[in-house]
Amino acid sequence: MTQRKGEKPTISIQEHMAIDVCPGPIQPIKQISDYFPRYPRGLPPTLPHVGPLRSALSTSSASASTTAAAESDRPNEDNPDRALAGASASLQATKKDEEPDVEGYDSDDSTTLGTLEFSLLYDQENNALHCTINKAKLPVPRYKKGLKPMDHNGLSDPYVKLHLLPGASKANKLRTKTLHNTLNPVWNETLTYYGITDEDMVRKTLRISVCDEDKFRHNEFIGETRIPLKKLKPNQTKNFNNCLEKQLPVKTEDKSLEERGRIMISLKYNTQKSCLVVGIIRCAHLAAMDANGFSDPYVKTYLKPDENKKSKHKTAVKKKTLNPEFNEEFCYDIKYADLTKKTLEVTVWDYDIGKSNDFIGGVSLGINANGERLKHWFDCLKNKDKKIERWHTLTNELPGSLND
């Protein structure tokens, strides 16, 4: 195709990649993209394809004023750039209305963060809350399924962590195993909180978070859901399928009201041996005393008054845990009638090498106690040769004048 000297080209080579080869003057045709339109991945076209450029030009011509009607037969001749710019704007507006947002994961819609299936069971007799984490998925229709991808490969390494609110995060945090390279994880894993009382079921909330594990950076938050425990009925399993939500702030608590943890103690008076058998079964949700977020707990018991200072017993040390199991028993030779004059002092400590051990919490049982601690002691006195088990909340006050 030759071009006369001084004549302005009406079509640039970048705008057209093919030409008609039919007889007659050589005329450029539409852009190649008009023949190969771009649709969202996984979505077929819902309407037959119509040349968008021709439609846009027709619309632009129809909206012209009547004073320019005479010139409408030769569009693009005087100012082709203006006509093409108008057509491009019209095309962008059309595509914006028709195409879904393929970057929908950044939407405020909570469903884009995923859903989590789980069940909760409050075992009232054993003061335990069983949390079964089943699976997670993202029910976005048509073009994406699974959890929000957090890694460069489009997948995640998800795990679930539990946290009872209010409460210190380190003291009552439980977590599942990590499943690698998946957006549809299936855990089928049960995590259990021990020492849960009816009072806890009224005032506490379970926070369930889904996170992406990263070996070289900080783990990334995906989404969370919160369940007030008062929604549960004792000894009845309740199933949930909740949409994950964005991270919500956790209210800061007064440090003086923060729990130090709980301990499960058994009492039994053995009439044949004339002794009090004290069992240290386990602790739950202990306060973290070490920099690694854990403690190395052990338990000491005293039967006061202790004139000869021979009543001290001590469990083994459990390394790096906030929920230790001891299952140890200690015997105190004492007449049954003298129990009304005695006080059992139980303290929990964090073992440290090369420095003083840290006091975690303590509890006193006896005739001078009150509430559940007094009731536990009376139940032991009334039921000889029967083991009575109870959970007790540790206080941050050192009983009596004990030193480690």
Cβ-Cβ contacts under 8 Å for 76 (sequence gap 6 or more)? 10, 57, 83, 84
Where do the H-state alpha helices sit in 157-311?
A: 198-203
Confidence of residue 142 (pLDDT cuts 50, 70, 90): very low
Query: What pLDDT is stored for residue 37 in this prediction?
Result: 55
pLDDT, tens digit, 9 for 90 and up, residues 315-365 = 999 999 989 999 999 999 999 999 988 999 999 999 998 888 899 999 999
Q: What is the mean pLDDT of the chain?
A: 75
CATH 2.60.40.150 location in the chain: 110-250, 259-393
Given a cut of 50, whether residue 254 has pLDDT beyond it is no
d(CA 262, CA 402): 19
d(CA 303, CA 313): 9
What CATH code is assigned to 259-393? 2.60.40.150
CB 120 within 8 A of CB 238: yes
Given a cut of 90, whether residue 165 has pLDDT beyond it is no
Sheet containing strand 275-284, strands side by side: 325-333, 275-284, 262-270, 388-393
Query: What pLDDT is stored for residue 50 in this prediction?
Result: 44
Query: What pLDDT is stored for residue 311 in this prediction?
Result: 85
Q: What are phi and psi of 332, to 5 degrees?
A: -120, 115
DSSP-assigned states of every residue in 337-380:
GGGGG-EEEEEEEE--SSSPPEEEEEEEEETT--HHHHHHHHHH
Domain topology for 110-250: Immunoglobulin-like (2.60.40)
Which of these, 193, 251, 243, 252, lies nearest to 222 by C-alpha position? 243
330 vs 58: which has the higher pLDDT: 330
pLDDT, tens digit, 9 for 90 and up, residues 76-123 = 444 545 544 454 544 444 433 333 333 333 334 444 688 999 999 999
